């Protein structure tokens, strides 16, 4: 069988593509099958409003990819295949009802001065965090980049103990288990500073009081100040398009519009996939599924491991997100003109508001005051719109996948087809309060509801853009289940990757890269 595949991969998200790139570079013959019309999963771009305006469908921030092990190893080849970044030194800011704002820029002196405007004590704390970040980041990134198997964990634990000592190692473990509010309350006194950082927890599944969430506000703040932020030149899809070209140049293939309906396995070993038209595609070494855990269970029909099957069928997802793509005649006139310089502006005024929003969405309610993440990519990359025009990328967080009611009591509809427009108006009303006149600048609008996100990409169950809660019971060695965080499954030659597998969501291609290295031996 000289023409036989070594590996067949289900789904063309960026983890799949990174895995395929790595394997094909080591001589594996690989084919990727994707049900959607284009590769990329949540990382794609298009003209979703009016001609001439390019929008990122879901993911916008490519900083994790730019700093990933995969990009570090393949930077030159990716660039030759079209990858181009658009960096910014002004990654994010928050705006508040009292007209004040706080922004983190790639200038420690400037950012510290902004923090000092709220509190001298907080400026001192910020300086201490800045000074200790290089050392702390080394330990944290070592954890977040490690394989979650016993050998890797043991080695990591020993190295961390030698570097930090017993007390320092326990301090790190304590920090990784803290909630955003607990860490922020112990570190800062200004509610504005706390809210600015806590907003990053809402990008994942970490409302202020959820254990294990402190690390994300910390890393986004310190890394944003140290490195800025990276977007994709022309759109986030520059990343996925470059990887597809790499795969094809190495003899691999990526097939879109090809839905997989089953995984063939017998005698405890997987050997292929079944396409919707009944075609069997076989692979000798690996069948790799970049799917949600529930989808994996459906595709296999179950395994002989009851614990694994239970974990797949009871896997828990985060609340959903609504996306609003806007073609704009001009940028919003924020209450502070400086906010026009930032890639992201968060409208998340307090920890209590974020906690309430999260609780409402988890209860199935449309939040009365959702968190709004306002992406301003054309501030960084003007090529995405005609000269002098702009695009806005709005994430409305959180939103229930299934609507049970409205926390504000004004939207009676319990299906997204009817609730989408009034809920989007609620979000735009909030934006209008902080940037009066924004509605008058809108040239085109496209609303993407949680069920539309799932229809486009079945991994985004209920509009969950991170493919599963990252709470401690479902993170680290428990993602997606204890004993399977390294991408293995109970079926020999069947492997699992994607955001549902450790190290989880984000554009860093971590699970795909770790799995490829495991399979290829390097």
Mean pLDDT by 10 residues, the chain (522 residues): 83 98 97 97 97 98 97 98 98 97 98 98 98 93 86 83 89 95 98 98 96 97 97 98 98 98 97 97 98 98 96 97 98 96 98 98 98 98 98 97 98 98 98 98 98 97 96 96 96 98 96 97 88
Relative to beta strand 45-46, strand 55-56 is antiparallel
What pLDDT does 265 receive?
97
Rounded Cα distance between 23 and 471, Å, is 31
pLDDT the model gives residue 160 = 86
Per-residue pLDDT at 363 = 98
Spans of all domains in the chain: 5-43+62-84+235-315+466-520
pTM strictly above 0.85: yes
Q: Quote the CA–CA distance of 211 and 330 in Å, as a whole number.
A: 40
> Would you tell me how many other CB atoms lie within 10 Å of the CB of residue 135?
12
367: DSSP letter: P
pLDDT value of position 156: 81
Of the candidates 225, 250, 218, 20, the residue with the CA atom closest to the CA atom of residue 107: 225
**Cβ neighbours for 388, distance < 8 A, ≥ 6 positions apart:** 330
**Token couple for 218:** 């910390």
| pLDDT for position 314 | 98
Nearest partner of 260 among 283, 279, 276, judged by Cα? 276
| Residue 382 pLDDT | 98
Q: Which two tokens stand for residue 395?
A: 């994430």
- Asked if residue 281 lies in contact with residue 9, where contact means CB atoms within 8 angstroms, the answer is no
Residue 446: φ, ψ to 5°: -140, 120
CATH topology of domain 5-43+62-84+235-315+466-520: FAD/NAD(P)-binding domain (3.50.50)
The token duo for 256 is 């879109």
Question: Torsions phi, psi of 264, nearest 5?
Answer: -85, 130
> Alpha helix locations (H) across 278-343?
293-300, 306-313
pLDDT at 163: 86
Q: Dihedral through CA 246, CA 247, CA 251, CA 254, nearest 10?
A: -140
Q: State the pLDDT at residue 154.
A: 85
């Amino acid at each position: 069988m000289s023409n036989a595949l070594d590996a067949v991969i289900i789904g063309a998200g960026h983890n799949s593509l990174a895995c395929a790139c790595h394997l094909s570079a080591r001589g594996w013959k690989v084919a990727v099958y994707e049900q959607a019309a284009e590769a990329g999963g949540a990382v794609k771009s298009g003209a979703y409003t009016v001609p001439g305006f390019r929008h990122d469908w879901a993911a916008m921030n490519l900083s994790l990819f730019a700093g990933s092990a995969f990009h570090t190893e393949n930077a030159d080849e990716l660039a030759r295949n079209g990858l181009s970044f658009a960096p910014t030194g002004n990654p994010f800011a928050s705006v508040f009802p009292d007209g004040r704002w706080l922004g983190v820029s790639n200038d420690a002196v400037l950012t510290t001065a902004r923090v000092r405007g709220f509190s001298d004590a907080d400026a001192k704390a910020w300086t201490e965090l800045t000074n200790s970040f290089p050392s702390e980041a080394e330990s944290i990134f070592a954890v977040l980049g490690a394989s979650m198997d016993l050998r890797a964990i043991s080695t990591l634990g020993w190295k961390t103990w030698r570097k930090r000592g017993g007390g320092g190692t326990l301090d790190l473990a304590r920090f990784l288990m803290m909630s955003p509010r607990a860490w922020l309350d112990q570190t800062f006194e200004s509610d504005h500073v706390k809210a600015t950082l806590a907003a990053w927890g809402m990008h994942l599944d970490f409302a202020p009081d959820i254990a294990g969430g402190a690390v994300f506000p910390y890393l986004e703040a310190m890394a944003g100040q140290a490195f800025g932020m990276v977007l994709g030149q022309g759109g986030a899809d520059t990343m996925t398009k470059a990887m597809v070209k790499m795969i094809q140049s190495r003899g691999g293939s990526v097939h879109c519009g090809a839905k997989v309906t089953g995984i063939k396995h017998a005698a405890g070993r997987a050997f292929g996939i079944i396409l919707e038209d009944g075609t069997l595609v076989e692979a000798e070494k690996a069948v790799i599924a970049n799917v949600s855990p529930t989808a994996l269970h459906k595709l296999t029909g179950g395994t002989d491991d009851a614990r694994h099957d239970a974990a797949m069928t009871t896997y828990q997802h985060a609340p959903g997100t609504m996306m609003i793509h806007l073609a704009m005649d001009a940028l919003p006139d924020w209450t502070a003109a400086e906010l026009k310089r930032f890639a992201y502006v968060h409208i998340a005024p307090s920890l209590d508001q974020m906690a309430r929003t999260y609780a409402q969405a988890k209860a199935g309610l449309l939040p009365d005051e959702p968190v709004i993440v306002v992406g301003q990519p054309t501030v960084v990359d003007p090529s995405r719109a005609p000269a002098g025009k702009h695009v806005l990328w709005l994430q409305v967080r959180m939103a229930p996948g299934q609507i049970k009611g409205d926390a504000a009591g004004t939207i009676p509809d319990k299906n997204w087809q009817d609730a989408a427009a009034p809920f989007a108006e609620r979000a735009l009303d909030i934006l209008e309060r902080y940037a009066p006149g924004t509605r008058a600048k809108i040239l085109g609008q496209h609303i993407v509801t949680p069920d539309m996100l799932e229809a486009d990409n079945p991994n985004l169950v209920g509009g969950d853009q991170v493919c599963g809660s990252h709470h401690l019971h479902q993170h680290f060695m428990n993602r997606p289940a204890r004993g399977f965080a390294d991408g293995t499954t109970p079926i020999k030659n069947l492997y699992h990757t994607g955001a549902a597998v450790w190290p989880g969501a984000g554009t860093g291609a971590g699970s795909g890269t770790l799995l490829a290295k495991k399979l290829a031996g390097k």
